Amino acid sequence: MAIVKRGGRSKAKQQAPPTKSGIKKAEFEFHKKKEVGVSDLTLLTKITDEAINENLQKRFMNDTIYTYIGHVLISVNPFRDLGIYTTSTLNEYKGRNRLEVPPHVFAIAESMYYNLKSYGDNQCVIISGESGAGKTEAAKQIMQYIAYVSVDDQAGANSEGISKIKDMVLATNPLLESFGCAKTLRNNNSSRHGKYLEIYFDPSTYHPSAAHITNYLLEKQRIVSQITNERNFHIFYQFTKNCPPQYQQAYGIQGPESYIYTSAARCIDVDGINDSKDFNDTLKAMQIIGLTQDEQDNIFRVLASILWIGNISFVEDENGNAIPRDESVTNFVAYLLNVEPVILKTAFVQRVMQTSHGMRRGSTYHVPLNIVQATAVRDALAKGLYNNLFDWIVERVNLSLKNTDVSSERKSIGILDIYGFEIFEHNSFEQICINYVNEKLQQIFIQLTLKAEQDEYVQEQIKWTPINYFNNKVVCDLIEAMKPHPGLFAALNDSVKTAHADSDAADQVFAQRLSMVGANNSHFEDRRGKFIIKHYAGDVTYDVAGMTDKNKDAMLRDLLEVLSTSTNGFVSKVLFPPELLASLTDSKKRPESASDKIKRSANLLVDTLSQCQPSYIRTIKPNQTKRPKEYDNHQVLHQVKYLGLKENVRIRRAGFAYRTTFEKFVQRFYLLSPKTGYAGDYIWTGDDISAVKEILRSCFIPESEFQLGTTKVFIKTPETLFGLEDMRDKYWHNMAARIQRAWRRYLKRKEDAAKTMQRAWKNKTHGNQFEQLRDYGNSLLKGQKERRRLSMLGSRAFMGDYLGCNDSSGYGRYILNQIGIQQKIIFSGNGEILVSKFGRSSKRLPRIFLLDKSNLYVIAQVLVDKRLQLQKEFVVPVSSINYVGLSTYQDNWVAVSLHSPTPTTPDLFINLDLKSELVTHLKKLNPGLTIKIGPTVSYQKKPGKYHTIKFEISNAANVPRNSDLYKSGTVTVRQGLPATGKNPKKPRGPPSKVDFSKYYNRGKTMKASNSYQTHNLRSQHTYNGSQGTSPAASSAVYGNSRIHKPAPASLNQTQTYPEPTVPTAPQQTSNQKPVPPRPVKKTAPAPPAKKNVAPPPPPPPPSLSAKPKFPTYKAAYDFQGTGSGSELPISKDTVVYITRKEASGWWLAKTLDEKSEGWVPAAYVVECDPPSGATSKPSSSQAEEPASNSASKTANDQYSSPSQPSNANANGLSNGLAEALKAKKTEEATLAGSLADALKKRKGAAIESEDEEEAEDDDDW
């Protein structure tokens, strides 16, 4: 599986292979149960029916009922509620791909909805299995999931309409279950009809907009008769047990035991079915769908009519003809149907026949019926009423679910819930129709998963190993074929034509034609009055008797004529429209038979499913007793075989999980390659197949994971496909994350800039508290302990919490959480402790030291169960410390001696780099603490037993340079720095050498703006503050407010110079003021360029002494400077040395006594002869001054009074009153401008630092 990589700017970065695996970091999943068996049967080591059955049994007994075969879901009915269809479970599968979550029906539903939105393909799910295997429940859960996620994703003004569609779609479940499901021997909620629900979605938003239900072959025979211990349709029991009072009086409704149609099978109540609750759900569903109260009244009126029709019975009269036993029942049925009682009674006991052949053609005869015939007419009326009522309910639901405003290009998800394969003791016409539809569904499964897969591989020229499989097309042709050999349905229709008046004669003709139907078909056997069809699910024996009569599927003309006289328009115009009677009277057109209807419906269903991208759920019934935790291996193994699960596993292992055209693949994934997509746009100029190759190469998909056909790309494993989808999702996530990161970085810089300014101001006004604490700590040593080189740094400050214990996260916070300290930490650091054991020499062991207001903690790292843990070794109260002992050398040892040590809290002898800081904090917390410094240190190894540590100096090779050596109570350390040394001032950080204006327009604009403001303000200040100077000099303001310095111009020209600020190191290609080197060796500068300046006053006569080592220059004007330590303020007529000249216009000057050095503008000085005494050399003590002292002195000179230049000038000029006044004026001007210049300088440095950070942290886009 490929990984998500970040696009780079260079070609080398783009093509670099991944350095990490694509496996995600493992996380413990609390909700996930331990895996039992394998979740996908393609992972089995052996592919056999027995291995599949064994794996299913293991998972079933562990309450894991779902298993995959690739994208096919296997479901085993648990016969109980496992609590796996809750809202929380539904949310776990929302937006997740199939392999991220355990197998579930919600995963199939999520995959369907995702493919609909992502690829725009119509979806359907085919749920197959025998009766009682859980098909209806699976269909309900898919509807529930799709309705939930599709409406939950929506937002906008149309949310009310979308929710209404969702509620109506879900309401179809209880309504159609009540009217179309019944309790059978195999299933308490068996679907006795087929239903294909299509949910339509708006292609622009993929919100549900409409729906449509197609009904297939209602089992009408169940209305009038059921097998023992089975029930009629649920609605009859719901209605009779919980009938509203208004219907009880108007329709005479009594309990279900009062009606023949509901009590003959001796099963009124069913375990697990609450008829009262279900009836309330049915009434609520009617209201949601939009059935009016009048329509509901008519529905229940027809149901009452059917119940009372079943109570009509017949007896023989004196002629042997049938007459009603109780005419009051017949009259009440006539009342319910709104027809005349006499007409209804006549229709039951007489049949009107009209001759169509012979000399008496057109004659009408009234033929009396016997009891059997009259009972058949009664049952035909009940079946016709219920069948047409059910069809009308489906049409009425479709009318409510219809949306006329939806575009014709709408997308759909179809859910097929149809009866399963049936094998009973006596199988008739209903079973052959049901099994025929299941054969068609099996044929679709074979075509779309097995045969179509192999055919596509051959067509696309993909390397493939053929798999042998059983094609059941031969069984389908046996039932539905017309040519060359007529099938069973054709033989039934011919038999009805031949002997349409006599059902028994028609059955005999059909039995004779069976020998012709299966003459050349090995899947058919004729058994005299019975026949056997070898279905894919097993051999089924069918009875011939009654098949032709059931195939007619037409009400008697007499009954239609009676119903047409009804004054109830719902009966005479809605359920039985006039066109129905007209079709029977039309002798030129044969009425459509039941076999014709089921054949047409099945083929239309197949065509509809073939136009969708199918998903499959294969349901399995574990036992016949409908008991939980009971698994019948023989029965399940039989279902595994006839469902063809083994062949499905084999072909799935050898096939490819995903395939699509090159164009669709590129459209979907071109963002994953920087060569095909840039900023969301498609930039590839080649053909589609080359783009596919580039995308796969950029995603590092191995060649074994895909193949390229002639028009399609084939991905072998679903992990690869999900990896590509995950990379595509993260592409957009990364773009958003980059924008968020840039914005957060911008806000962070603003915050840091504000903090920097606040910190600088606090340091300027109140001083640096950490440096002040350092100086206090140094004073505690009283110059008695040698110093280490790192302790003498100017940047050394006592910061305290070096491990970050006070931070919200990180290692320091981890330490506090482990040992349970809640107080604020004053000091934290790593060090060592000297541990002595009996009979062995002392040993230095690493420890962590923490100090809060109350205690000093010594933390040890110990192994517990082979895991490293932190534990408190010692807790020393600060108030119990008597003294701390230090040596006079530069070692890091310190002894902590207590007033009353104990075995659990002894004296400590610790080695810590930051010992002086620890002692300082202890002194702050315990003012009575004594600090002992001497050549030896004593502490109590055990209570009352003092041990003395000796210290000595040695430069031997075995002594560490930056540490010490402990052995046998003696510490050996190298010579340190003098104990009286002091820390110099904190050095300035190096300025940036990058001109960010080349890369950022914002920075350039800010510089220009600052330069303009600085020029106006500072030039005015210079002019007003420089009295007595020339106009050219008064207008000279130096440099940009930043770091750039213009080249000097002639003094004869009117030119302004920006005021100098923090100088930087010189560069040959940029006009920048160099930083004066600290104590580095000076080199002779190049000869100065000729300057066109006003002639200075005549210099004194040249001395006859030796030539000076540097050329001398005199200041033509006062240069006050900006207060920067790198500049040298000088007064007019001051003579200085020029040691280095830069092309930027800044020269490095040094006073004649060589005590001060700094940069001056070249335009302010002119060359002159050296004054008398300038050739004298500095004293040897000055030349041999140490570098550290020189740096400290330079730092002090930076903040000294600007009167120093006047003092330097006094060495060459007289100390008259005029010079004193000049020095006073220079001092006042410098003090007046120092604060403003410092703020401006800080502002420029902050801007520069911000630009530098922006360039360093800029993301790679």
Q: Which residues are catalytic?
A: 131-132, 136, 187, 190-191, 420, 422
Give, in order, the Cα–Cα distances in Å from 335 to each of 248, 344, 376, 385, 639.
15, 10, 21, 15, 51
Residues 6 or more apart whose Cβ sits within 8 Å of residue 842? 834, 835, 836, 966
The rounded distance, in Å, linking the Cα atoms of 794 and 1037 is 33
Largest CA distance in the chain: 172
- DSSP code string of 675-731: TTEETTEE---S-HHHHHHHHHHHTT--GGGEEE-SSEEEE--HHHHHHHHHHHHHH
Beta bridge partners of 951: 971
Is 230 one of the annotated binding-site residues? no
The rounded distance, in Å, linking the Cα atoms of 1147 and 76 is 93
User: Which residue, among 343, 348, 351, has the nearest Cα to 368 in the 3D structure?
Assistant: 351
3-state secondary structure of 32: coil
Q: Quick one: 1173 exposed, middle or buried, by C-beta within 10 A (0-12, 13-18, 19+)?
A: exposed
User: Which residue, among 919, 1049, 1045, 1043, has the nearest Cα to 1035 in the 3D structure?
Assistant: 1049
Cβ contact 208:161 at 8 Å: no
The rounded distance, in Å, linking the Cα atoms of 847 and 924 is 23
Q: How many other C-beta atoms can be found within 10 angstroms of the C-beta atom of residue 345?
A: 19
User: Which residue, among 644, 648, 624, has the nearest Cα to 635 in the 3D structure?
Assistant: 624
- Structure tokens that stand for 1245 in this block: 């440095």
Is 1056 one of the annotated binding-site residues? no
Q: Look-up: residue for tokens 């033989």?
A: 491
The rounded distance, in Å, linking the Cα atoms of 503 and 551 is 10
The rounded distance, in Å, linking the Cα atoms of 277 and 178 is 12
The half-sphere exposure of 544 on its side-chain side, counting CA atoms within 13 A, is 24
- Taking the mean position of all CA atoms in its chain, how far away is CA 113? 18
Is 1064 one of the annotated binding-site residues? no
Q: Could you give phi then psi for residue 427, rounded to 5 degrees?
A: -110, 130
Is 969 one of the annotated binding-site residues? no
E strand map for 523-612: 524-526, 530-535, 538-543
Is 133 one of the annotated binding-site residues? yes
The rounded distance, in Å, linking the Cα atoms of 969 and 954 is 16
User: Which residue, among 802, 827, 805, has the nearest Cα to 923 in the 3D structure?
Assistant: 827
- 706-708: strand order across its sheet: 658-661, 712-715, 706-708
- Structure tokens that stand for 883 in this block: 């003294």
Is 131 one of the annotated binding-site residues? yes
The rounded distance, in Å, linking the Cα atoms of 941 and 998 is 67
3-state secondary structure of 216: strand
User: Which residue, among 1009, 1022, 1008, 1004, has the nearest Cα to 1059 in the 3D structure?
Assistant: 1022
Is 130 one of the annotated binding-site residues? yes
Q: How many other C-beta atoms can be found within 10 angstroms of the C-beta atom of residue 328?
A: 9
Is 70 one of the annotated binding-site residues? no
The half-sphere exposure of 578 on its side-chain side, counting CA atoms within 13 A, is 2
The rounded distance, in Å, linking the Cα atoms of 188 and 768 is 85
Do the bridges between strand 881-887 and strand 930-934 make them parallel or antiparallel, or are there none, so unpaired?
parallel
Cβ contact 858:833 at 8 Å: yes
Q: Quick one: 126 exposed, middle or buried, by C-beta within 10 A (0-12, 13-18, 19+)?
A: buried
Cβ contact 194:418 at 8 Å: yes
Beta bridge partners of 678: 681
Q: Could you give phi then psi for residue 896, rounded to 5 degrees?
A: -110, 110
The DSSP secondary-structure symbol of 220 reads: T
Binding-site positions for ATP: 129-136
Binding-site positions: 129-136
